[in-house]
Every structure is written in structure tokens, then in C-alpha cells.
Structure 1
Amino acid sequence: MSGFQTYLDNAEAQTGVTPRQFLELARERDLTTAKVGEVVAWLKADHGLGHGHAANLAQLITKGPDAVAARYNNGEPLRLDGRGTDA
């Protein structure tokens, strides 16, 4: 498992929100095209995440799962539907 996936898993453990749910929440707030710093601020303020977890989720939200998987997860799909799932 990549370090990036570990950040996603830990953010889910802290908030109860899966990575896919964070993507949807960001879409609802028109944050998918926002600057990373704006997304980080939202995640920290609204979800109580620390900077590292918020920054990794912000990359996922602004760059998209495929680009993030290619760069940080050796091209393997990220697990977006929760810690107990495979993909």
C-alpha cells in the first residue's frame, strides 16, 4: 500500500468520510477546479483534518484519482470507497 493511500485511509478513519465521498462533497461545493490551498482550508475547517491529510485529499480532489494514482501510487488504482474495499 502506498503512503498516499495510507493518508486517505487515515483521513477516513478520522472523519468517517470515504475518499469518494470527499470527491462528491468537493464537487457539490465547486472545489474540483479550486486552488489546492482553498481545498486544504475547507478540509481543515469543515472536517478537522491536519495539514498533511488535507493536502493529500486536496491533490485527489483537484488533480483527480487517475492522475494521483499515476504519480503517487505506481499507477495502481486508489481505494476510494473505504478502507475495507479493494478499489
Structure 2
Amino acid sequence: MSFQAYLNTIEQKTGKTPDDLRTLARERGWTQGAALAPNIKPMAIVAALKDELGLGHGHAMAVVALLKEHRKEGDA
């Protein structure tokens, strides 16, 4: 599955676009600029996304990669 396919599935399941997810992360204090905030552990984000949005582990990890800017929309 491509990274973009993960993002598409997340949007279909939750209605949240990558920009929506970035906004959510900023509002929650998970990010600072284009990186995770120093006190934020990736697995804390994963747990919140699983609990609140019903994402599976792989899809939640894709969001973390998006927030860390390791991957971007359109990546294969």
C-alpha cells in the first residue's frame, strides 16, 4: 500500500484530510513547526489516534510520519 493510499483510507474513515490532521496535531501540542514537540512520544500520538479516530496501528503510524514530515501527500 502506498503512503498516499494510507492517507486516502484515513480520510475515507475519519473525514480528516492531511491538513486537518496537521491542525489537530498543532492544537494538541503534538508538533512544533515541522517536527514533533520535544516532549511528545510518537506512541502517545498513535494511542490517541487509535482511541479517538478508530485508526489501526499502521494508519496511525502513517499520520506520525506525516506529522514528522518523513512522508508527504503523493508519496508512493
Correspondence for 1:83: none
1:63-78 → structure 2 map (5 Å cutoff): 63-64=68-69, 67-69=70-72, 78=73
The percent of aligned pairs where both chains have the same amino acid is 43
Instruction: Kindly report structure 1 stretches of 4+ aligned residues shifted beyond 3 Å.
Output: none
**Structure 1: which 5+ residue stretches go unaligned?**
70-77, 80-87
Tell me if the contact between 1:36 and 1:59 (Cα under 8 Å) persists in the aligned partners.
Answer: no
d(CA) in 1 for partners of 2:50, 2:10: 11
Correspondence for 2:57: 51
**Structure 2: which 5+ residue stretches go unaligned?**
32-36
- Tell which has more relative contact order, 1 or 2 (C-alpha 8 A, sep 6+): 2
Alignment coverage as a number of residue pairs? 67
TM-score (normalised: structure 1): 0.69
TM-score (normalised: structure 2): 0.79
Structure with the larger strand share? 2
